[in-house]
Structure 1
Amino acid sequence: MVIMVRNKSVFVVLLFSLFLSFGLLCSAKDFPGRRSEDDPRQRYEDCQRRCQSETRGQTEQDKCEDRCERQFKEEQQRDGDDPQRRYQDCRQHCQQEERRLRPQCEQSCQEQYERQQQQQPDKRFKECQHRCQRQEQGPERKQQCVKECREQYQEDPWKGERENKWREEEEEESDEGEQQQRNNPYYFHRRSFQERFREEHGNFRVLQRFAAKHHLLRGINEFRIAILEANPNTFVLPHHCDAEKIYVVTNGRGTITFVTHENKESYNVAPGVVVRIPAGSTVYLANQDNREKLTIAVLHRPVNNPGQFQKFFPAGQENPQSYLRIFSREILEAVFNTRSEQLDELFGGRQSHRRQQGQGMFRKASQEQIRALSQEATSPRGKGSEGYAFNLLSQTPRYSNQNGRFYEACPRNFQQQLQEVDSSVVAFEINKGSIFVPHYNSKATFVVLVTDGNGHVEMVCPHLSRQSSHWSSREEEEQEEQEEQEDERRSGQYKRVRAQLSTGDIFVVPAGHPVTFVASQNKNLGLLGFGLYNGQDNKRIFVAGKTNNVRQWDRQAKELAFGVESRLVDEVFNNNPQESYFVSGQSRRGFDERRGSNNPLSSFLDFARLF
């Protein structure tokens, strides 16, 4: 009797355990963090386990695992082609960005999602076409199947054939796009800056040397670009530099003061203000704003070693260190005519006061101190024959219409401010959905910084082949010589260099290279540029718009060059008489119809293929 009761108890416990296990399994798919049956990775692992437990022999197991691998890759590919899934993954990636960069990142995700949505009908047509070739028997049935696919997914039955060449090129660029962006010698991602000072109240970061990115940029390797950011109510320690510098304020309000060997200059600055800091001048800054950061783009032209510069701080403790403390105590006591104790107090500082003020290049300041620093400062306006500063945005725009504005200051007009650095400064804003038309510079190489918004750039380059342009350091000199010889042999052959642009990115435009900039559909694109070696009187030549260069050619030259009647050349190049410099991306008519594209802009390089 006792044994029966015990057996019944065990049976009840086992039965209860089975029900409990079944309930947990049923609810597992809803348990947070557990992978569901829809997870390709989970299915792949299950498939691998079945291969190990159900197959006989190593050969059969290997074949089974290969099938699991192929199935997993196919599912990954399908997931990669799903715009909604890629959009969600992109937005999750944006959460890892800094808070101020997330809006631009999410905007890029949205634009990519919209482009993929526009491409879906064509992809579905190709998938349908592939199924016809795989499933149908006989040429007639396959032909009928393809016709039904075309009727279902393409309004124009000949659209696919007419676009075939264009699509192949675009798909090739899309597959290589991310890799090309990284290998693009003219494009610098915002993370290409190296931080020299990163502190609680600000940071100072310097772009890598140009020639370190690619030998094609060695001609501008003596210049360096940097970004200085100071938090609200922050003071930047006095320092001098072994380089001629140009400051351009891109955000915030502040005061820049510097002392030359003759006098002191002090300026209240705002976005658009350009200040030249002579080499060796001691400069200090203050952010006047209570909420916004003060952001300054800095162009350096070193005077000692090309491409290398250093800052020297007369006041500081550890990082930065005061350079005065490096001199021997005997020298300091003699030149300052003071006691050793006073020197220790001056350069060592009281510990409590030092903790209160903090250490580093950036120091928190009171509003009273900030106001006092700005009392004697002047506000730069337009062009001035004297002084070291001017407001670029107070000038009359060089080019302007309803689609954008372009401001430019050249060394010949701003000699005291720009001639020593041999650089011009430009700032331009492209309205959303608009284009700064294709053009090239006769002598200056422009380093362009994205200050706001996003978009993309396209440039013609004769130096890059379709293969990778990277090599090991051991082969660098030999590879450079071979590429230079190859450039000469294939003169007249070009490659399109394209890069997506977001705030903080940099793009280099060498002299003579045709280029165009395009703003996204959702936000204006703001850019700042330094035109290096612009003391040589650079000219900007436009190849589109109502002032384009081709309009001035002789009739016979047009016919001989393009191989068509000059009338057709005139119709194309004179087809936009109302707009110049900046045009709307929506103004194109026939060209989009040729390509069947819904994008606001297709490459201006495609224009040449029409002839």
Structure 2
Amino acid sequence: MKFITINLSLPIFLFILVATSCLGTPDEEAELDPELTTCIHQCKHQDKYSRDDKQECTRGCHKYHQMKKQRERQIEEQVRRRKEHEMEQVKEKQRHQGEEEEEEEEEENPFLFDDDDFETRFETEDGRVRVLHRFTKKSNLLRGIHNFRLATLEAEGHTFVSPCHFDSEAVFFVVKGRATIGMVREEKTERFNLEQGDIIRVPSGTPVYLVNRDHNQKLFIAKLHMPLAVPGKFEAFYGPGGRNPESFLTAFSWELLEAALKSPREKLERLFQKQEKGGIFKISKEDVESVSKVKGSGIWPFGGRSSGPFNIFKSPIMSNQYGRLFETNLDDHSQLKDLNLILSFANITNGSMTAPMYATRATNVIMVSDGKGYIEMVCPHVSSTHSYHPFKASLKPGVVFVVPTGHPFIIVASNKNNLQLLRFQLHAQGDNTLTFAGKKNVVKALDKEAKELAFNYPADKVDEIFSRDEDLFLPGPDSYDFEEHARAYA
């Protein structure tokens, strides 16, 4: 920086300091800022100034004005964020104040989410990311899972999903397709190949990218996010990028970027103007092969040693001719243990059903991945008379249904297709699924005396009704008309 020694009287020097507290950027801004005009005028009419001194003084006016404007923008942004936070607190307070009345007045199914309940975060011709609205947007009955968000990623064949990180913990489940995932840890990137049924955790703040390494098949990934920064909200932050996806680096002032990257502004502008393809875009076969090369596993970002993803389809925990159930285990899968999360996948044979059942601790978020079916659930929280209210809904690919803790439900597959369900079991530590039909059921396990008192019926007669050889998955009703139910509760 050039320093200029100037002999000024104290009053004039103080006047210039005051004037430069409200300086501007280009000369034309002077017409819009009287104080900037005054500053520039004083610089140009100082008799003791040389020509270079006057130019240096004028530049000082502009520079200080830039700093002032930048600070004003920062203050405006802080005020905007504070107002948004205050509005959110007011809305949250209003929701809690009227939650009982709202629960009684709800007319639509508060547990069912379909295509209209998803918002598109971004979309290109090669793929899109969609996020389900917050569960509490539909009903306060779901405030126990307010902080969880469900999202989906779809990518066409041979596409690249740009690197980003999230302000949330995330778990990815590959519903369909084959992919390679890259995750940046400190000074290197670890890559893992993914296929249908693979589960992988993406810790908060971990830069991650994906490649659909299949040329023909679309990649479909379900993602469960657990926000850390703002309850119930999460964002993707794109570092490597340009105009689209926009790199968050370009939001910094150029002076700071120049200093951090040791590059002039012109060079940085050229760099950040190159990418305009969006967050998901096609790449060549050669690029797919190059970025899909896996070198093996190493130390995992959240501690311990891991081989990366694990597949849920290794062996079913329950299987018969009416359906199969695959499920993770908290003790065997440390990636999910501290998230208190269990994932399961059910394939219910066409025309079959589950036994009446409920979860003792977990809230089940169920997404239909394939097939069609029907669900019935009973809830005591929506009736002023404290009686049980039945909720019924048809199921098809993309539909999400939430079953809160302790709520009994039955799922039925259509007569034409198997029904495939992905289930996120939230708050799963210590959870157990109890049934009211099948080989192992609550009534069968109840002691004789309590059983007779409860039903006012002989225990052996009760056992005749509740005892059967199948477990969990059962044959569906003979007279069940799926199409009629689907029309009634679509």
Q: TM-score, normalised by structure 1?
A: 0.59
Please state how far the C-alpha of 1:291 moved relative to its aligned partner.
1.1
Pick one of 194, 198, 205 that aligns with 1:273. 198
Larger Rg: 1
Once the two structures are superposed, residues 208-245 of structure 1 have per-residue CA deviations (whole angstroms, 9 ceiling, x without a partner) of 00000001001101000000001111100000010000
Match of 2:474 in 1: 583
Match of 1:255 in 2: 180
The answer as to 2:396 corresponding to 1:502 is yes
The answer as to 2:213 corresponding to 1:213 is no
Once the two structures are superposed, residues 186-215 of structure 1 have per-residue CA deviations (whole angstroms, 9 ceiling, x without a partner) of 000123110011111100000000000001
Pick one of 349, 353, 360 that aligns with 1:442. 360
Once the two structures are superposed, residues 154-210 of structure 1 have per-residue CA deviations (whole angstroms, 9 ceiling, x without a partner) of xxxxxxxxxxxxxxxxxxxxxxxxxx9981000001231100111111000000000
Query: Which runs of 5 or more residues in structure 1 are unaligned?
Result: 1-179, 466-485, 589-596, 604-611
Match of 2:27 in 1: none
Pick one of 539, 548, 553 that aligns with 2:432. 539
Match of 1:368 in 2: 286
Pick one of 243, 256, 268 that aligns with 2:168. 243
What is the CA–CA distance in structure 1 between the aligned matches of 2:281 and 2:406, rounded to whole Å?
45
What is the CA–CA distance in structure 1 between the aligned matches of 2:484 and 2:381, rounded to whole Å?
23
Match of 1:397 in 2: 316
What RMSD, in angstroms, separates the aligned Cα atoms of the two structures? 2.4
Q: TM-score, normalised by structure 2?
A: 0.73
Counterparts of residues 123-142 of structure 1 (less than 5 Å): none
Please state how far the C-alpha of 1:458 moved relative to its aligned partner.
0.9
What is the CA–CA distance in structure 2 between the aligned matches of 1:500 and 1:521, rounded to whole Å?
13
What is the CA–CA distance in structure 1 between the aligned matches of 2:374 and 2:218, rounded to whole Å?
26
Match of 2:449 in 1: 556
Pick one of 325, 332, 356 that aligns with 1:413. 332
C-alpha contact (below 8 Å) 2:243/2:273 kept by paired residues: no
What is the CA–CA distance in structure 2 between the aligned matches of 1:368 and 1:242, rounded to whole Å?
33
Q: Specify the SS of the correspondent of 1:412.
A: coil
What is the CA–CA distance in structure 1 between the aligned matches of 2:457 and 2:307, rounded to whole Å?
55
Letter of the structure 2 residue corresponding to residue 529 of structure 1: R
C-alpha contact (below 8 Å) 2:193/2:294 kept by paired residues: no
Decide which structure has greater strand share: 2
Match of 2:23 in 1: none
Letter of the structure 2 residue corresponding to residue 199 of structure 1: T
Cα separation, partners in 2 of 1:421 and 1:377, compared to 1, 3 Å: farther
What is the CA–CA distance in structure 1 between the aligned matches of 2:419 and 2:382, rounded to whole Å?
27
Once the two structures are superposed, residues 399-418 of structure 1 have per-residue CA deviations (whole angstroms, 9 ceiling, x without a partner) of 11111111111333211x11
Counterparts of residues 105-116 of structure 1 (less than 5 Å): none
Please state how far the C-alpha of 1:263 moved relative to its aligned partner.
4.8
What is the CA–CA distance in structure 1 between the aligned matches of 2:190 and 2:406, rounded to whole Å?
38
Cα separation, partners in 2 of 1:327 and 1:260, compared to 1, 3 Å: same
Please state how far the C-alpha of 1:437 moved relative to its aligned partner.
1.4
What is the CA–CA distance in structure 2 between the aligned matches of 1:558 and 1:255, rounded to whole Å?
54
Match of 1:300 in 2: 225
C-alpha contact (below 8 Å) 1:442/1:538 kept by paired residues: yes
Match of 1:321 in 2: 246
Pick one of 554, 557, 570 that aligns with 2:463. 570
What is the CA–CA distance in structure 2 between the aligned matches of 1:205 and 1:243, rounded to whole Å?
16
C-alpha contact (below 8 Å) 1:317/1:359 kept by paired residues: no
Cα separation, partners in 2 of 1:525 and 1:602, compared to 1, 3 Å: same
Counterparts of residues 137-536 of structure 1 (less than 5 Å): 183-261=108-186, 263-349=188-274, 358-376=276-294, 386-394=306-314, 396-415=315-334, 417-465=335-383, 486=384, 490-491=385-386, 493-534=387-428, 536=429
Letter of the structure 1 residue corresponding to residue 434 of structure 2: I
What is the CA–CA distance in structure 1 between the aligned matches of 2:454 and 2:147, rounded to whole Å?
39
Once the two structures are superposed, residues 265-289 of structure 1 have per-residue CA deviations (whole angstroms, 9 ceiling, x without a partner) of 3111111000100000000001111
Once the two structures are superposed, residues 349-398 of structure 1 have per-residue CA deviations (whole angstroms, 9 ceiling, x without a partner) of 2xxxx5xxx5211121001101111112659xxxx97244211112x211
What is the CA–CA distance in structure 2 between the aligned matches of 1:509 and 1:230, rounded to whole Å?
29
C-alpha contact (below 8 Å) 1:245/1:421 kept by paired residues: no
What is the CA–CA distance in structure 2 between the aligned matches of 1:227 and 1:443, rounded to whole Å?
26
C-alpha contact (below 8 Å) 1:455/1:517 kept by paired residues: yes
C-alpha contact (below 8 Å) 2:375/2:395 kept by paired residues: yes
**What's the % identity of the aligned pairs?**
41
Please state how far the C-alpha of 1:317 moved relative to its aligned partner.
2.9
Cα separation, partners in 2 of 1:361 and 1:560, compared to 1, 3 Å: same
Once the two structures are superposed, residues 500-520 of structure 1 have per-residue CA deviations (whole angstroms, 9 ceiling, x without a partner) of 000000000111011111100
Please state how far the C-alpha of 1:556 moved relative to its aligned partner.
1.4
Decide which structure has greater helix share: 1
Q: Specify the SS of the correspondent of 1:410.
A: coil
C-alpha contact (below 8 Å) 1:385/1:414 kept by paired residues: no
C-alpha contact (below 8 Å) 1:242/1:279 kept by paired residues: yes
Q: Specify the SS of the correspondent of 1:218.
A: helix
What is the CA–CA distance in structure 2 between the aligned matches of 1:220 and 1:390, rounded to whole Å?
25
What is the CA–CA distance in structure 2 between the aligned matches of 1:181 and 1:404, rounded to whole Å?
34
Please state how far the C-alpha of 1:567 moved relative to its aligned partner.
1.7
What is the CA–CA distance in structure 1 between the aligned matches of 2:283 and 2:420, rounded to whole Å?
31
Query: Which runs of 5 or more residues in structure 2 are unaligned?
Result: 1-104, 298-303, 486-490
Q: Specify the SS of the correspondent of 1:225.
A: strand
Letter of the structure 2 residue corresponding to residue 398 of structure 1: I
